[in-house]
Every structure is written in C-alpha cells, then in structure tokens.
Amino acid sequence: MSLRSGAVVTSGNDPSADWSRDECQCELLGPQEASTAVRQSARLAKFHVPEIVFGPGSLTELGHCALRLGGRRPFLVTDPGLIEAGWVDEAVAHLRRVGLRPVVWHDVTPNPKDHEIQAGFQRYAESGCDVIVGVGGGSVIDAAKGVAILTSNGGRILDYEGVDQVVQPIPPTVMVPSTSGTGADVSQFAVITDTTEHIKITIVSRTLVPEISVIDPRLLTTMPDWLNAATGLDALTHAIEAFVSRAHNPLTDNHALHAVGLITANLVRTQVQPKNFGARLAMAQASLEAGMAFTNAILGATHAMSHQVGGLLDAPHGVVNGVLLPHVIRFNAEEWPERFVALGAAAGIATAGVPPHEVAAQLADLVRGLADDVGVPKGLASLGVAEWDVPVLARTTMKDACMATNPRDVAVQDVEKLFREAL
C-alpha cells in the first residue's frame, strides 16, 4: 500500500537501503554528479508536528490556544476519570477566563467505540461548537479526532479506515494529553473500535495532526499505576517501531532514540515514586518524542497485532504492546539485526564488539524485563486470548495500515506464529 500521509517507504524489500548509504556515495562524486545522485536515490522526508506548548503549568495556556484558532465555543472531549481528577474543571476555567463558552462531552470509554464517536458528533452538531479540545489519554484524543472527522466529512467513522481517506479539512483541534505514552496529541492516527466486527480500525491522515498540543506533566500524576505502565510501554513501542520502520529518516531517528533512553531510565521510577516530578517530566518528553517519531515514520507489526487484540477483548493497548514487542523484535531482527544496535545502545546495553543479533536479543529481553517490572502479564492468554482466536487475529492483522512499514515482510503464517509465541 502507499502511505501518502508524509511517510516515504523504502523502495523494494531492502530496508537497509537508508540515507546513510546514499550520503556516502554522494561524497565520492562531483557537485553535478552528486546532485543527480541525490535526485535519483535520496528519499523525501516530511516531518509534520503540531505547535507544542510543553512544561509544568502549561494547561494555563489552553484558553489562549483555543482563542488563537478562532474558538468561541470549544467542544471539550474528556472522560469521567479526568473529571474526577479535577483537570476538566481547571481546563474549563482557563477557557472561560479568555471569554470562551466551552461545552463538555465525556461519554468516552477506553478504546473508543464507533457508536461513541457518532454520539459525540451529534452532540457537537447540536451545540454549535467550533474548536475541538481533547483533555485526556489516547482514547479521549482519538474520540475527539473522530468527532472532527465526521463534522467535516460526514458518513460513519468506519468509512475512513486506512490511509488518506479523510479528504476534507477538519475543525481546529487542541489536545491536552493526560498520559505519558499514546502520542495521539501529535500524531496523524486515530484508532477506533468496530463494535460489530470486534476489531480496531486505524485511520491515518495528515488532517488529524492537531494544530496545538499542550503537554502539562502535572496531569500525569493522577494516572493509576496500570495506566502509567501501559502508556509507558506504548511509548517505548512507538519509539522502537518508528526507528526500524521502512519509512524512518534522520529526523525521526533522533527523536526515537532519545525517547528510548528516557523511557528505559524513567518508567519504573514513575511506578515506584509516583510523585517524582523529574521522572514524570522525562516521561512526558519521551511520549512527545516517540509520538513525533512514529507519526512521521509510522509503525510496524507490534501495533498491527495489538490493534486486533484490543478490538477483540477491549484490552489496554499498551499492555498488549508490552507482551508482543519482544517477540516482534526477535522476528524483525532475524532479517535486519544491525538496525537494533543503536536502539540497544540508547537503552543502555553495551554494544561495542557485540554481534548485532545478540544486541537485538538483549533488547528484547530488556523490554520483557521492563514489562515485568511494571506488572504486565507475560502472555496474551492471561488477557483472554485463546488458541482458536489466532487465525482470525492474524488475518485482520494483515489488513492493518501499520503492517506496510514493518521492516521485514510478513506473511499471515508469520503472524500466527508470533501470536502463538506470545500466548
């Protein structure tokens, strides 16, 4: 498939044909020859991110952000947990302080459902709102994007599965993430549950990149432990899959590697020391950088598989990623172990003189150890996946947009094997 939404996939089946090789070749040529070589061999890189307001207390800027986008009556999407934690009241106060009249809609559940998006759109249409504000985790932000899609494009949210199916511009959006992992506040993705087929669909469109992301690490302090673990592992998966993606480039690589270092050094600290604000700040930045990497490089087999399990069981996305990622690392490294050396180094693994396949194996073990440390189950069976689910999960995985950029070609038999290994 073609990923026109800013991701440029390496031609052919050789994921190692990256920019560094092109650059080395150009150094051997004269100016005119080098110019021709670049036109013929270099891959175009696009890097699309929102305006970012980052740091403790940045939620106070929310009203000014919405106002600058032309807001008069913001539609604030959130969930009951954020209301209970007090963040919605603070957000509403900041919106009202600059003269805006927000409408709050909070009927969003984890892994947002198709019918919830339809209900949110109807509420938006009735309220006469303009700018859409999401305050919450990935589910809230994906729901806000879903409402925005229907506002300008009509139809049903399931009509927009795949890449570049959203053709009309959506209303301006401001996102305020309350978790440290989904990256939805900076991404061109929305993931919605099809409640009839019991699968998740992935919508990819550059129109879904929010205008502004307001990242206030204070919001992370009210996450429950299980959500902190799940979203942290989700961010780690974003960074690793973006780095090895067929569509990676130097711009995404730097953010992905830095995110890996921040997460492996700080995720456990946020679990055992929930009020450690330095660790929270580091995880907020890690989530941001991993999000900026994967929205431009896209993802891989881990996410394609995880989406199917989440659709089947309504399971926490990051927890499923934590179970699957070590298996996918080992699978991809069988064909391209060299790419995992820099990731291993970023995670603190000694790589000098170590064969690449051993570094990749150590990285897979490190991810599994990190998952153990934050309380993630060792297998999918403990989440409710059964042997008889595997064939269906494998077939739907092959249709997921994230499979297009996995660094290794994958057949349905490979996916079945990976699922069985992860049971």
Q: What is the 3-state secondary structure (H, E, C) of 33-92?
A: HHHHHHHHHCCCCCCCCCEEEECCCHHHHHHHHHHHCCCCCCEEECCHHHHHHCHHHHHH
What is the helix (H) or strand (E) element at residue 297, kind and residue range? Answer: helix 277-297
Structural domain count of the chain: 2
In this structure, the answer to whether residues 143 and 184 fall within a common structural domain is yes
In this structure, the answer to whether residues 257 and 216 fall within a common structural domain is no
In this structure, the answer to whether residues 259 and 333 fall within a common structural domain is yes
**Residue 245 reports pLDDT greater than 80:** yes
What pLDDT shows up at residue 46?
81
pTM, rounded to two decimals: 0.89
Q: Is residue 274 part of a domain?
A: yes
Q: Is residue 340 part of a domain?
A: yes
What pLDDT shows up at residue 43?
65
Placement of tokens 């604030």 in the chain:
76
Among residues 204, 220, 236, the one where a domain terminates is: 220
In this structure, the answer to whether residues 102 and 233 fall within a common structural domain is no
C-alpha 150/C-alpha 157 separation (Å) is: 7
Among residues 220, 248, 270, the one where a domain terminates is: 220
Percentage, residues of the chain above pLDDT 90: 87
Q: Is residue 19 part of a domain?
A: no
In this structure, the answer to whether residues 325 and 414 fall within a common structural domain is yes
C-alpha 15/C-alpha 9 separation (Å) is: 9
Confidence band, pLDDT 50/70/90 cuts, at residue 53 = very high
In this structure, the answer to whether residues 61 and 83 fall within a common structural domain is yes
Residue 137, classed as helix, strand or coil, is coil
Q: Is residue 24 part of a domain?
A: no
In this structure, the answer to whether residues 174 and 117 fall within a common structural domain is yes
pLDDT tens string 320-351: 999 999 999 999 999 999 999 999 999 999 99
Give residue 183's domain range. Answer: 51-220
**Residue 223 reports pLDDT greater than 60:** yes
In this structure, the answer to whether residues 237 and 211 fall within a common structural domain is no
In this structure, the answer to whether residues 192 and 62 fall within a common structural domain is yes
In this structure, the answer to whether residues 214 and 350 fall within a common structural domain is no
pLDDT tens string 359-376: 999 999 999 999 999 999
In this structure, the answer to whether residues 60 and 185 fall within a common structural domain is yes
CATH code, domain carrying 302: 1.20.1090.10
**Residue 7 reports pLDDT greater than 50:** no
Placement of tokens 């992370």 in the chain:
220
| Among 167, 152, 176, 251, CA closest to 206 | 167
In this structure, the answer to whether residues 197 and 278 fall within a common structural domain is no
Q: Is residue 385 part of a domain?
A: yes
Mean pLDDT of the chain: 91
Q: Is residue 12 part of a domain?
A: no
What pLDDT shows up at residue 10?
38
